[in-house]
Amino acid sequence: MNSAGIVALVAVLALATAFGLWRRRVDGKFNETKATSVAKEQHLTAGQLGQPLGDLATLVEFSSAFCAPCRATRKVLDRVVDDVHGIALIEIDAEQRLDLTRQFGVMRTPTVLILDSEGVVRHRAAGQPRYADVVGALGAVVPGASSTS
Amino acid sequence: MTTQASQQATTRTRPPANQIDPRGPRFGAAITTVVLALILLFGPNSPIAALLLTIQILAFAAGAILGLQAQPYGWIYRTFVRPRLGPPSELEDQAPPRFAQAVGLVFGLAGAAGLLLGLDVLFYAAIAMALAAAFLNAAFNFCLGCEMYLLFKRIGVGRKPLTQS
């Protein structure tokens, strides 16, 4: 046993635990102020996204190839789109669209943006969101959306 | 019928062969965490650390290059652990955990380089990084390498002129 190794081990486990607990707390939580402050341009069009926007709101998911929570997130969002009328889901490969990844300051996948009917970014979550959080955030963007299902 | 069947075949984006029980890589990450912790504790001058690091590098290489079916910790999971558990609630694509094995391999090789060249700082830094990633995977089901992937992509293409619309 060597003292440097013991110090390194304890430091790594402590830092990683702190990081993991912090991530667990913020993961998938929607944030309104971050949605409006991070993006340089807070607006997305159907042309940029390559797909039409939803009538009431649009969920935009940034995904990447080596990302297990992206697939789980996709399933959650698919359920939301099935349950709530007028919502479109657009999945973007962050690698393919580095322009949008940069424009919206996406640092990790999955990142989910919620756009209102005009394509304005209103909400944002990094990490896998829970169903109730997505519906709750949608409710803030589209009055009445949460009661549709 | 035939058209329906072929449609189904084409709409299925990933073949089932690439789908794995997600508990397997997490179990493997727990073993990796223990092995890397022991390597740190024994230190760069210990032959035991060198042996453990060799085993760990081979395990990473098998997972990254041959696939997770060939990863020895995955084999331990399938043979001894999975029969005692129920079937997984859902399957997962093997690409993310396989990429994580490749990231581990890079750190493992860096640690080995530090050991062989007598660069203790490189040895400790590389093993500590690999340990942090494996521990986060085991304890929090969090894939550090997977997140780094996008950041590297962002940096890598940063040198290109931005095509602003």
CB atoms within 10 A of CB A133: 17
Nearest to B71 by CA among B81, B54, B58: B58
pLDDT exceeds 80 at position A2: yes
pLDDT exceeds 80 at position B36: yes
How far is it, in rounded angstroms, from Cα A79 to Cα B55? 43
The pLDDT of residue A80 is 96
Q: Which of chain B's residues have a Cβ under 8 Å away from the Cβ of A66?
A: 95-96, 99-100, 143, 145-146, 149
Distance of CA B165 to the CA centre of its chain: 38
Name the minimum distance, in Å, from the CA of B62 to any CA of chain A.
18
Kindly determine whether residue B41 and residue A19, on different chains, have CB atoms separated by under 8 Å. no
Least confident of A38-42, A111-115, B74-78, B79-83: A38-42
Annotated domain spans of chain B:
20-153
Distance of CA A3 to the CA centre of its chain: 42
The pLDDT of residue B1 is 42
Q: Find the radius of gyration of the CA atoms of chain A.
A: 18
Residue A11 lies in a domain: no
Kindly determine whether residue A15 and residue B146, on different chains, have CB atoms separated by under 8 Å. no
Kindly determine whether residue A102 and residue B124, on different chains, have CB atoms separated by under 8 Å. no
CA distances B14 to B17, B92, B125, Å, are 8, 10, 37
Nearest to B35 by CA among B22, B49, B24: B49
Over residues B112-121, the mean pLDDT reads 96
Could you say which of A5, A13, A108 has the minimum Cβ distance to residue B147? A108
Kindly determine whether residue A66 and residue B40, on different chains, have CB atoms separated by under 8 Å. no
The pLDDT of residue B15 is 45
Q: In total, how many domains does chain A have?
A: 1
The pLDDT of residue B6 is 43
Strands B19-20 and B92-93: antiparallel
Q: Phi-psi region for residue A127, left (φ > 0), alpha (ψ -120 to 50) or beta? A: left
Name the minimum distance, in Å, from the CA of A143 to any CA of chain B.
33
Could you say which of A13, A16, A71 has the minimum Cβ distance to residue B93? A71
Q: Give residue-wise pLDDT tens across range A97-146.
A: 999 998 888 989 999 999 999 899 989 999 999 999 999 999 988 875 54
Name the minimum distance, in Å, from the CA of A82 to any CA of chain B.
19
Name the minimum distance, in Å, from the CA of A144 to any CA of chain B.
33
> Is B107 an 8 Å CB contact of chain A?
no
pLDDT confidence band for A1 (50 / 70 / 90): low
> Is B14 an 8 Å CB contact of chain A?
no
Strands A87-93 and A111-116: unpaired
Helices (H), chain A: 3-26, 32-37, 46-49, 68-83, 98-103, 131-141
Structure tokens at A3: 């003292």
Measured N-to-C along each axis, helices B144-156 and B95-117 cross at an angle, to the nearest 10 degrees, of 80
Q: Give residue-wise pLDDT tens across range B120-163.
A: 999 999 999 999 999 999 999 988 877 888 888 888 744 444 44
Identify whether the C-beta of residue A119 lies closer than 8 Å to the C-beta of residue A127.
no
Residue A40 lies in a domain: yes
CA angle A110, B136, A28 (to 5 degrees): 30
Q: Which of chain B's residues have a Cβ under 8 Å away from the Cβ of A44?
A: none
Question: Which residues form the domain of A50?
Answer: 28-147
Kindly determine whether residue A99 and residue B163, on different chains, have CB atoms separated by under 8 Å. yes
Identify whether the C-beta of residue B130 lies closer than 8 Å to the C-beta of residue B108.
yes
Interface confidence (ipTM) of the complex: 0.79
Q: Give residue-wise pLDDT tens across range A36-81.
A: 665 555 788 888 888 899 999 999 999 998 888 898 999 999 999 9
> Is B145 an 8 Å CB contact of chain A?
yes
Identify whether the C-beta of residue B148 lies closer than 8 Å to the C-beta of residue B103.
yes
CA angle B124, B128, B132 (to 5 degrees): 180
Residue A94 lies in a domain: yes
Q: What is the CATH number of the domain that holds A101?
A: 3.40.30.10
Strands B92-93 and A111-116: unpaired
Residue A14 lies in a domain: no
Over residues B61-80, the mean pLDDT reads 94
